[in-house]
Amino acid sequence: MDLTVLLPTYLDGMSLRDIVVKLDKVIRDRYVRSKLKFIVIDESLGSDDNLNIFIHEIKKSQLWKNRVEVLTPPYRSGNQGAILWALRTINWKVSKADSILAVMDSDGEDNPDDLPILLDKFLENRLDVVYAIRGKRKASFSFKFGRYMFSKLFRILTGKQFEGGNFSVIRTKWLVECLKLGNFTNSFAGELISIAAKKASVKCDRSPRWDGTSKTSLSGLITFGFRQLIPWSEIIAVRSFIFFIASSTFSACTSIMVFLLKIYSDFSTPAWTTLIVGFSVLAGFLTFLLFIVSLVLVVQVDATKRMIHSVESTK
């Protein structure tokens, strides 16, 4: 088995070293004949002192220097942006054979002991993708509440269950074909689930962080959430348009009914009827705006895919 593990890291250099060592042991114990390589994405752009120390150790170690590669993006673009940049940077390296790419976080929350579980399901069923669905996790109340609210919003907008996360195992040939077609341009986790493929999921609990606390800001988390919605923009556009038509029809019918009652009847309409009409008009206006935004995203994503596909076709 030819396995490459992609590890994005942002100021988690201390835990990264332990995770690489742990993964090496876990994979070699479970898959004796495996060929294992690690690719680290330095999202800190060289500012992580612990990662720099690890890189220095790698260069001196005969065991690691040819098995661990560190990639530094040209600019900061968040966790998802760094992964997408790396995929387009390294795809030619991992596509020389029918190899496997595993993607997981470097803070320890993606448990190294769970990787063989994903690999076994992947190999036994000859799949293209196996990804982890999050089970229990230790996190602050505010984080859990925010994730719960976003999952509900995601369900309303897309009709799908939110299963976002990087932890996955991917067949390289399938990944390369997806990249050539212009996929994986906005969100790795979101597009991995939305793209049609032979895939399955495995429920994995999130482990506690191995070192320190998360350095991801609130804006980073919000950006991550928006990126998960972009691959579903076409579905969101359709659902928002349907809701816009329904709410507009309801408000129009209600307004006409209230008007006729006031003009041609002595019946006194309750005050709340005006409030309902107002809310339905507001809901219709907001869903129309959502439809327009989603439609713009659909056009933009499609144009980006066409451009990338055109560039890839000329290579």
38-59 residue pLDDT tens = 999 999 998 888 888 888 888 8
Question: Where do we find the tokens 């609210």?
Answer: 149
Tokens of 29: 């114990």
Q: How much is the pLDDT for 145?
A: 86
Question: Which among 98, 307, 113, 79 is positioned nearest to 187, based on CA atoms?
Answer: 79
Give 85's pLDDT tier (boundaries 50, 70, 90).
very high
Share of the chain above pLDDT 70, in %: 92
Could you tell me which residue, 256 or 129, shows the higher pLDDT? 129
The helix or strand, by DSSP H or E, that contains position 39, with its residue range, turns out to be: strand 35-42
User: At residue 270, does pLDDT exceed 80?
Assistant: no
Q: How much is the pLDDT for 199?
A: 93
**Residue 152 and residue 162: Cα distance in Å, rounded?**
8
Inter-residue contact 122 to 130 (CB < 8 Å)? yes
Domain 2-216, what architecture? Alpha-Beta Complex (3.90)
Give 314's pLDDT tier (boundaries 50, 70, 90).
low
Distances (CA, A) of 142 to 36, 45, 52, 62, 215: 38, 29, 33, 45, 16
Share of the chain above pLDDT 90, in %: 27
The rounded Cα 163 to chain-centroid distance in angstroms is 8
Mean pLDDT of 235-264: 82
For the segment 184-224, what is each residue's pLDDT rounded down to a tens digit?
888 899 899 889 899 999 999 888 888 877 777 777 788 88
Distances (CA, A) of 44 to 7, 41, 313: 13, 9, 33
The 8-class DSSP code of residue 43 comes to T
Question: Where do we find the tokens 């290579």?
Answer: 315
Other beta carbons within 10 angstroms of residue 58's beta carbon come to 20
User: At residue 260, does pLDDT exceed 80?
Assistant: no
Q: How much is the pLDDT for 267?
A: 67
